[in-house]
Structure 1
Amino acid sequence: MKTATPAMARAINDRLALDLLLERGPLTAPQLRSLTGLSRPTVSDLIERLMDGGLIEITGEYGEDRRGPNARLYGLVAGRAHVAGVDVRREAVTVRVADLAGHVVGSAVRAVAGDLVEVVADVVTEAAAGRTLDTVVIGAPGLVDPRTGELVSGNDAQGRRPGLMAALRQRLGVPAVLENEVNLAAVAELRTGAALGSADFVLLWLDDGVGAAVVLDGRLRRGASGGAGEVGFLEVDGTDFCHLVEAAAVRDLDRAELARRIAKGAFAFAMILDPGLIVLGGRTGHEGGDELAALVAERVRESSPAPTEIRASAVEGNAVLQGAVLTALDLTRDRIFG
């Protein structure tokens, strides 16, 4: 069995402490010892190391209301890095900038007009407001090739052109990652929404666009070409599923008929993947709430032998943007924390 080197052990301990500070906020050295199980000298060394690296700082004292010396509180240096999440829609580009602790420090929105690279770069710069960005994660409709990170040919996103991401990275001068927007919404659902605590689920996205994201064993599954979850192309009742459930097609439907249509796509996922949980996202899923989810669950239950729970999205606000920021933070923390 290969044992950890001293350098590896230090890196593991440092990451453990940093993750605890992210999760719980400022902590004292005794609290870090208690939570990590590490010895006093080991915790003292890692605190000194992380402070020298500009990752943590003294944020105050603990125990001001009691007699005796107070313990120093150590917290993450949130301004050590900043990230941007970008949501590219047909009409507008929205950007949110967060610090290393995940606190939102800037945002901006701009209508899509002209070259998409220039629009995205300009609105990211506006939201950053002079801050240096570490990572930018962009959500856009359509297939993203897992090998190249570029939009697959045939995507109809406004302003799309070959080499979009290569041009954008050069324009921004920072690492930038493109991801399908429904996949990013699923990240938000997994971390903060209806799928919290679920290792396997499908997010069925019901909005102006229709699609799905597949999460198995806690990981996004993109497929060989980035097409996993593209249920909109599924033929149902003689037409594409997307045409049955997109926002324009369901505007005047009663809840029972809407649930019947949605259940067609949900049933396909229940039978093929058996995820145990399907979350109804997008505007239709969010506005339909628990009532619509219950109606869809009833219809799926009538046909599927696989027990499948149906829940409404629980992410408040822009799920795509939240997922983009969370993904950018993961990438940045892995790079900085080790």
Structure 2
Amino acid sequence: MKTATPAMARAINDRLALDLLLARGPLTAPQLRDLTGLSRPTVSDLIERLRSAGLIEVTGESGKDRRGPNARLYGLVAERAHVAGVDIRWSGLSVTVADLAGREVGSAVHEPSDDLHAAIAEAVERAAGGRALQAVVLGSPGLVHPQTGALTSDSRVRGWRPGLPAELRRTLGVQVVLENEVNLAAIAEHRAGAAAGSADFVLLWLDDGVGGAVVLGGRLRRGVSGGAGEVGTLDLGLKEATFCAALEAKLTPAELAARIAKGVFTIVAVLDPGLVVLGGRTGRQGGDALAALVEEEVARRSPAPTRVRASTVEGNAVLQGAVLTALDLARDAVFG
């Protein structure tokens, strides 16, 4: 059995401390010792390493309201790296740039364009405001192959062409990753939405179109070709349950819930996820009332207990998932 080398042990300890600073904000050396269980000399060494690397800095002092020496507070240098998330839609694109702590520092939007490459590059550079980027994550409709990262189906986005992410990588000079937009929304839902704390769930996306994403065992499941969760290709009556279709058909809440439940029942029968989150405009606007109606309808059809919840992610879930994914990439690169 292999044992950790001193260098590996230092890297593990450094990452543990950095993750704690990300999660909890500035901490003192004694707090780091308590939270990590590491010895005083080990914590002192890692603090010096991280300060020398420009990853942490002194942000203040703790204990100013008591007698005795104050303890220094150490915080993450959030400006050490920046990332961009891009939500590409038929109606245009949106960009958010965030620092290493996940705080938004810039944003931009762009109208639909036949030259999508130029539109994305311009919007990203405008949102970055001169800041160097560590990673850019694009969210787009369509199947994204898990191994190649290429779009394997027609996204129907104006100006899209094969090889676009690679072109952007060369233009921007930064890592560019493409992901299905509903998968990114599921990542946001899992981290900070209705599915937080749930290892298994399905996000049912009901907007202008229909989509889905599957998370099992705490991991996003893409399938062999990226098609996992693509319930929009099935004849489940869900197209009539999207935001636009429901408005046009003037469906009552009960009628809308019945149509959604038909699709949810099929998902539950195959995956038994225990939780289905209703996302997109239909899910958000329907809220808890619609989710409760769908849950009741599903319970009448299925013996598998299933909670149905409305999305609770504030704002653009796809964009938030893109930023979160880019932050994972950047932190792995910067933190080691």
Q: What TM-score, normalized by structure 2, do the two folds share? A: 0.98
Q: Which runs of 5+ in 1 are unaligned?
A: none
Alignment check: 8 A CA contact 1:205 1:285 kept: yes
Please name the residue that 1:274 is paired with.
272
Say which SS state the counterpart of residue 143 (structure 2) adopts: coil
Deviation of 1:150 (Å): 1.6
Give the deviation of 1:202 after TM superposition. 0.2
In the TM superposition, 1:166-245 aligns within 5 A as 166-236=166-236, 241-245=237-241
Could you tell me how far apart the structure 2 residues matched to 1:178 and 1:65 are?
Answer: 50
* Ranges of 4+ aligned residues in structure 1 off by more than 3 Å: none
Checking the alignment, whether the CA contact within 8 Å between 2:93 and 2:109 is kept in structure 1 is yes
Match of 2:298 in 1: 300
2:142–2:152 contact (8 Å) kept in structure 1 = yes
Equivalence for 1:247 = 243
- Are the aligned partners of 1:94 and 1:109 in contact in 2 as well (CA < 8 Å)? yes
What's the CA shift for 1:4? 0.7
Q: What residue identity is the alignment partner of 1:108?
A: A
CA distance in structure 2 between the aligned counterparts of 1:90 and 1:303, rounded to whole angstroms: 36
d(CA) in 1 for partners of 2:64, 2:208: 55
Q: Report matched runs for 1:27-66 at 5 Å.
A: 27-66=27-66
Which residue pairs with 1:130 in the alignment? 130
SS of equivalent residue, structure 2 residue 258? helix
Give 1:326's aligned residue: 324
Report if the CA contact (8 A) 2:90-2:156 is conserved: no
The question of whether the paired residues in 2 share the 8 Å contact of 1:79 and 1:99 is answered with yes
1:261 alignment partner in structure 2: 259
- Give the distance between the partners of 2:164 and 2:55, measured in 1 at CA: 34
TM-score (norm 1): 0.97
What's the secondary structure of 1:225's corresponding residue?
A: coil
Count residues in correspondence: 334
Gaps of 5+ in 2: none
Q: Which amino acid aligns with 1:328?
A: A
Provide closer, same or farther for how the CA distance between residues 170 and 110 of structure 1 changes in structure 2, counting only shifts above 3 A. same
Q: What is the Cα deviation at residue 85 of structure 1?
A: 0.6
Secondary structure at the counterpart of residue 90 of structure 2: coil
Aligned-CA RMSD value: 0.9
Once the 2 structures are TM-superposed, how far is the Cα of residue 147 of structure 1 from its aligned partner? 1.9
Instruction: Please name the residue that 1:286 is paired with.
Output: 284
Q: Secondary structure at the match of 2:149?
A: coil
- The answer on 1:337 being equivalent to 2:335 is yes
Structure 1 distance, partners of 2:324, 2:206, is 22
Contact 1:142 1:157 in 2 (8 A): no
Cα distance in 2 for residues equivalent to 1:154 and 1:22: 38
